[in-house]
Every structure is written in C-alpha cells, then in structure tokens.
C-alpha cells in the first residue's frame, strides 16, 4: 500500500511536469497548427538561467533559490518570442506547413548548439544548487518529500490560472478566436501576430516553471535536457488530443503515472517502452487523442 | 464627402485579375446594393475594403481614412464592421462569447454590457441561447449572431456579404428586416447579394458587377426596372 501511494505521488509529480510542458506544445499547435520542436529546448534555456541566477538570488540578495524562476520565465518568454519573430513567422508567411516543420526542427538544433558554444555553458553538464531544502511530510503513513508537494501544487495552480486566462478573459477569447478563424478574428480587431507572440511567451513561461520543478528533483542541467523531456511531453499532448488544453493536462498525468508505475512494479528499463506503447494503443482507438476534436481544415 | 469612396481599384489573385478598375461611392446614411453573379468579384471588393485581401492599386477612403494603408485589424476601430460571407462565427465559442468578440477592441466595459443587453432585448432568441455553442445554431440564428456581433463594435458603417445565403424565404425576410433596423439606427450599409430582388428593394442605389467591372449603376428603382438587370439577376425571361 505504501509503495502504491508513493508511486502515485511520483506519478503525479512527473505528470504535472509533463503537463506544464505539453501545454506549450498544444497552445502553439492550437493557434498556428505547427509542432514547435524547439519547445523542449525552452526547458534547457530555463534550466541554465536558473543555474546562473540562483546563486545571485541566494548569495547576493539572501532570497530563496527558487526565486530565480522569475528570470527563467523572463528569459524563456523572450527566447520564445524571438524564435517566433525571427524564424517561424517569416517562414509561415512565405512557405508551407512542411517548411515550418523543418524550421522548428532546425530551431531546436540551433538552440542546443548555440548553448554549447557559450563558454559559460560548454559541453559539460552543470549541477544547480539545492532548490528546495530536503525535508518531507508524513501523511497517512506515507512520507512525501516537499519537492514533490511543491511541484504538484505549483503545477496545479499554473494550470488553473491558464484555464481561467483562456476561458474567462478577453485575451483568452482572442486566442481562441485566432485559433478557430483568423480572418474573422482580424475583422473583430484582433492582431493575429501579437496574439501568436503572446501564446509563445506563455508557453515558454510554463516551460520555465517546468524546468525549475524538474531540476529541483533531478539536479543536472545539460544542453539536450529538453529533447527527451520535450519528446515525452509532446507525446502527452498528442495522447490527450493536441490543441486541447485539458487534453495536455490529462495526457501529461497519464504519461507520468505510466512511467512511475512501470518503474515501481515492472522495471525501470521498461518505462519508456510502456509510455510509447500507451500512445500507440490510444491513437489506434482514438486517432485524435483522448480529448481531441476533429479539426476541420478551413478553406 | 462620401462615407466610402473606392477609386479605380485593381485586385489580383496571383495572375488572375479579379477586380479591374472598380470605382464606387457610398454616402452617409445610404443602403447600397452591389449585385452580380457568382465569381463577379463582390466578395473580393468587400475583403479589400476591410483589408483581408491586398489591392494592387487604387484607392479606398473611408471617413477620411486611407484604408489601403491601415493594418487590417485596426479598420473595425474606425467604425467599419464587416459581416462576412457564410457568417464566419467562432463556432466553438458560445453565442455570448461571439458577441463579446465583436466588442473586443472596446475598453468601455460597462457600455459593452449595456449593448449586449440591448441586443438580447432586440433578439430574445439570442438571449435564450447565449450559452449555446454557436456552431450548433440554425443558419438563421447564426446570421443573427453574425449581424449582432458586428453591431457590438458600434459601427458607423457595415459591409455585408450575402446575408441571405442558404436561408429559407421567411428567414431571408427576417434578415432584411434586421438590415432595415440597423439602417434606422443611422448605420450606413454596403450590401453584397445574389438575391437581387430583395437587395434592390431595400437599397437607395445599386451597382452591378460583372467579371470584376461595374457595368451599371443607378438608383435601385431604375436598376430594378432595367431589362438587362431583370433578365440577368431578377429571374425574368
């Protein structure tokens, strides 16, 4: 029973991190129908920003280490906006869906290589300082470490906030309008370009928060940290139904749980196998993903 | 000065010369009908007015503003609304969200709420369905939402693209009733229609568009009694 409950908590923690990242994929897909392959690398950008800013926060300002996430969010949002502004937008306005896709893959490789070329980063992994001091909480017989609790609570809060933003605010309506019908959105006075930029900024900010939570648990930052993490989050987004926000959250949780339970009860070597197996089975039964809608292509 | 003045407009889609030197004008308070067959270029003209399509050359001046040099999303803020062909609602949003999108750029939130209430009073059916997803409404109701959505931007002028398309005769009458009501509120209307009978009955003046050119213009009653127009567009034999 204890093993089951702690496995559940680990699954929740992993799942919330995947969900935060998956939201970035799904938001961008929803608005420009493109898979942003560079999204995983925003985690890397956030991770390094944390490595460099956390010592400043703790040593110079006497603040807790996690406050570095403010800079991670700002830097990630700027990188997200620049990627859209300098690469995706010009290509989208000129080319086809395929050229946009290739540009996204190229952007991912450029970010990873660029990071390695920066002397302060280099090819060797960096170890960030301790983010949440080790402590734990015993609840109903099981012991949970505080990092896990923080991760679940913060990710949950981010998801609630994002849902409110999209459902209840004027900006959220504009985002949905652009996603559904760009021409009609323009006729309502919505600047499509600006809305897309803000979507990138929000998606990248969520990746920055995910980076904080991830390296709080696994304290190692390297230039390809985003590729496997990003791929799994992308799988989560597809599993839940790409383009759907609740889908990304659900997909993230399922992948996190699958991974956690495989590691606990079967074998850690099988974790990824099960994750991708679930993806294939779900897509065979529901090709658009669990909560996905059939998106009609507008002529 | 006219409310809307189009001068020698030229529009191309790639190599296709869609609009070949169209000039027309709409005076404040008028209802103008632009009639013509499918593919004559009616929709293209409306799209060029509100910036959805780029012009090659020519001039479009609305209320003193040169529309060809204004970013498309800023045009509605000048008081020029566009009710597009096939309504183009945000089909996955509710009726109320669609109406609020019409007022997207407005910052006077209290007045927006007031206008929303006025629309619900005018069209109780929309009030009943305000939380319904727009894509599930009937064609007539969707047209009602599309026109109300345009009203939410407090327009001085509305351009309307085939509002009667796909509607039953009773609903067509209802839609034209709405156009009249809008006009009574002081809104200038440029109406594009294939239903030339109705369009000319409601209009002050009309233009006939053929293959990207204006071939005839005049008061609505003169056009409606013209033999050529009757044969081509009013179903006379």
pLDDT at A296 over 70: no
Instruction: With beta carbons under 8 A apart, name residues in chain B contacting A187.
Output: 50, 52, 76, 81-82, 84, 88
Query: What is the per-residue pLDDT across A11-41, written as a single tens digit (0 to 9) for each?
Result: 999 999 999 999 999 999 999 999 999 999 9
Mean of per-residue pLDDT scores for chain A: 94
Instruction: With beta carbons under 8 A apart, name residues in chain A contacting B93.
Output: 173, 176-177, 180
pLDDT category at A2 given cuts 50, 70, 90 is confident
Task: Identify the pLDDT of residue A297.
Answer: 45
CB contact under 8 A, A180 and B73: no
Angle between helices A2-32 and A225-240 (to 10 degrees): 80
* H or E stretch covering A94: helix A89-94
Question: Least CA distance to B91: which residue of chain A?
Answer: A180
Task: Calculate mean pLDDT across residues A88-114.
Answer: 93
Query: What is the rounded CA–CA span in Å between residue B19 and residue B58?
Result: 10
CB contact under 8 A, A170 and B100: yes
> For B92, which of A180, A189, A192 is closest by C-beta distance?
A180
- The answer to whether the beta carbons of residues A211 and A152 sit under 8 Å apart is no
pLDDT at A88 over 90: yes
Instruction: With beta carbons under 8 A apart, name residues in chain A contacting B149.
Output: 188
Query: What is the per-residue pLDDT across A198-242, written as a single tens digit (0 to 9) for each?
Result: 999 999 999 999 999 999 999 999 999 999 899 999 999 999 999
CB contact under 8 A, B51 and A186: yes
Question: Least CA distance to A194: which residue of chain B?
Answer: B73
Question: Least CA distance to A193: which residue of chain B?
Answer: B73
Task: Give how far A175 is from chain B: nearest CA, Å.
Answer: 11
Please provide residue A126's backbone torsions phi and psi, each rounded to the nearest 5 degrees.
-110, 145
pLDDT at A299 over 70: no
Query: What is the per-residue pLDDT across A125-184, written as a single tens digit (0 to 9) for each?
Result: 999 999 999 888 887 778 889 999 999 999 999 999 999 999 999 999 999 999 999 999
Query: What is the per-residue pLDDT across B104-145, written as a single tens digit (0 to 9) for each?
Result: 999 999 999 999 999 999 999 999 999 999 999 999 999 999
For residue B233, what are the β-bridge partners?
none
Q: Each residue's pLDDT tens digit in chain B (237 positions)?
A: 799 999 999 999 999 999 999 999 999 999 999 999 989 999 999 999 999 999 999 999 999 999 999 999 999 999 999 999 999 999 999 999 999 999 999 999 999 999 999 999 999 999 999 999 999 999 999 999 999 999 999 999 999 999 999 999 999 999 999 999 999 999 999 999 988 999 999 999 999 999 999 999 999 999 999 988 888 887 765
> For B104, which of A174, A183, A192 is closest by C-beta distance?
A174
Query: What is the rounded CA–CA span in Å between residue A3 and residue A184?
Result: 53
CB contact under 8 A, B93 and A192: no
Using the Cα atoms of residue A213, residue A214, residue A218 and residue A223 in order, give the sign of their dihedral.
negative
User: Within its chain, how far is the Cα of A176 from the centroid?
Assistant: 20
CB contact under 8 A, A173 and B101: yes
Instruction: With beta carbons under 8 A apart, name residues in chain A contacting B97.
Output: 173, 176
Residue to mutate among B52, B54, B75, B90, with most A CBs inside 10 A, is B90
Name the B residues in 154-193 with CB < 8 Å from any A CB. none
CB contact under 8 A, A187 and B91: no
Task: Give how far A173 is from chain B: nearest CA, Å.
Answer: 7
Instruction: With beta carbons under 8 A apart, name residues in chain B contacting A186.
Output: 51-52, 72-73
- Domains of chain B (ranges, CATH numbers): 1-79+155-237 (3.40.50.300), 89-154 (no CATH)
Question: Least CA distance to A186: which residue of chain B?
Answer: B73
Name the residue among B198, B199, B181 with its Cα closest to residue B190: B199
- CA neighbours closer than 13 Å in the CB half-sphere of residue A254: 25
Query: What is the per-residue pLDDT across A262-276, written as a single tens digit (0 to 9) for each?
Result: 999 999 999 999 999
Q: Is pTM, for the whole model, over 0.90?
A: yes
Interface of chain A toward chain B, CB-CB under 8 angstroms? 170, 173-174, 176-177, 180-181, 183-192, 293
Residue to mutate among A93, A170, A187, with most B CBs inside 10 A, is A187
Query: What is the per-residue pLDDT across B43-53, written as a single tens digit (0 to 9) for each?
Result: 999 999 999 99
- Domains of chain A (ranges, CATH numbers): 2-285 (1.10.3470)
* ipTM above threshold 0.85: yes
Q: Where are the alpha helices (DSSP H) in A141-244?
A: 146-168, 170-180, 182-187, 192-217, 225-240
B72 touches chain A (CB under 8 A): yes
Give residues with Cβ within 8 angstroms of B33, minimum separation 6: B191, B192, B193, B196, B199, B200, B202, B203, B205, B206, B207, B220
Task: Calculate mean pLDDT across residues A82-94.
Answer: 96
Task: Identify the pLDDT of residue B237.
Answer: 59
CB contact under 8 A, A181 and B74: no
B85 touches chain A (CB under 8 A): no
C-alpha separations of A89 from A74, A83, A200, A266, B52 in Å: 21, 9, 12, 45, 18
> For B73, which of A170, A173, A189 is closest by C-beta distance?
A189
User: Within its chain, how far is the Cα of B70 from the centroid?
Assistant: 19
B100 touches chain A (CB under 8 A): yes
Query: What is the rounded CA–CA span in Å between residue A94 and residue B193?
Result: 34
Task: Identify the pLDDT of residue A295.
Answer: 55
Residue to mutate among B51, B104, B107, B145, with most A CBs inside 10 A, is B104
CB contact under 8 A, B50 and A187: yes
């Amino acid at each position: 029973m204890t093993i089951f409950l702690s496995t559940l908590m680990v699954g929740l923690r992993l799942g919330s991190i995947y969900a935060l990242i998956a939201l970035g994929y799904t938001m961008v897909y929803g608005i420009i129908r493109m898979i942003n392959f560079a999204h995983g690398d925003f985690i890397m950008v956030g991770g390094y920003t944390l490595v460099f800013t956390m010592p400043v926060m703790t040593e110079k300002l006497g603040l807790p280490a996690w406050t570095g996430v403010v800079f991670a969010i700002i830097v990630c949002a700027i990188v997200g906006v620049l990627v859209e502004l300098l690469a995706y937008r010009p290509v989208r306005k000129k080319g086809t869906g395929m050229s946009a896709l290739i540009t996204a893959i190229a952007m991912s490789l450029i970010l990873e290589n660029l990071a390695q070329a920066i002397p302060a980063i280099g090819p060797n992994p960096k170890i960030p300082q301790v983010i949440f001091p080790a402590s734990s909480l015993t609840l109903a017989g099981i012991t949970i470490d505080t990092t896990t609790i923080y991760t679940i609570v913060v990710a949950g809060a981010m998801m609630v906030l994002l849902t409110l933003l999209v459902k209840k605010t004027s900006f959220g309506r504009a985002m949905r309008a652009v996603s559904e019908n760009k021409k009609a959105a323009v006729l309502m006075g919505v600047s499509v370009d600006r809305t897309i930029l803000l979507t990138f900024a929000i998606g990248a900010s969520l990746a920055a928060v995910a980076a904080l939570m991830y390296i709080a648990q696994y304290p190692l930052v390297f230039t390809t940290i985003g590729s496997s993490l990003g791929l799994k989050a992308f799988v989560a987004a597809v599993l839940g139904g790409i383009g759907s926000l609740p889908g990304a959250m659900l997909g993230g949780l399922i992948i996190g749980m699958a991974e956690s339970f495989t590691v606990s009860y079967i074998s850690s070597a099988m974790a990824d196998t099960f994750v991708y197996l679930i993806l294939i089975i779900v897509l065979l039964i529901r090709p658009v993903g669990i909560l996905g809608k059939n998106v009609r292509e507008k002529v | 000065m006219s409310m809307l003045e189009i001068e020698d407009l030229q529009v191309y889609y790639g190599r296709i010369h869609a609009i070949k030197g169209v000039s027309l004008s709409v005076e404040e308070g008028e209802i103008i009908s632009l009639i013509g067959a499918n593919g004559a270029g009616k929709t293209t003209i409306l799209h060029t007015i509100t910036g959805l399509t780029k012009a090659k050359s020519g001039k479009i001046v609305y209320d003193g503003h040169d529309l060809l040099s204004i970013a498309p999303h800023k045009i509605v803020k000048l008081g020029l609304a566009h009710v597009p062909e096939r309504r183009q609602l945000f089909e996955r949003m509710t009726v109320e969200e669609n109406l609020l999108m019409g007022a997207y750029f407005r910052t006077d939130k209290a007045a927006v709420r007031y206008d929303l209430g006025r629309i619900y009073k005018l069209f109780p059916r929309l009030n009943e369905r305000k939380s319904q997803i727009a894509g599930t409404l009937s064609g007539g109701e969707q047209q009602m939402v599309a026109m109300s959505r345009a009203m939410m931007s407090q327009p001085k002028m509305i351009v309307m693209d085939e509002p009667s398309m796909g509607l039953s005769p009773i609903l067509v009458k209802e839609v034209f009733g709405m156009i009249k009501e809008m006009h009574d509120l002081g809104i200038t209307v440029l109406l594009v229609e294939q239903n030339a009978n109705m369009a000319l009955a409601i209009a002050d003046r009309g233009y006939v568009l053929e293959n990207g050119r204006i071939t005839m213009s005049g008061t609505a009653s003169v056009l409606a009694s013209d033999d050529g127009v009757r044969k081509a567009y009013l179903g006379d034999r």
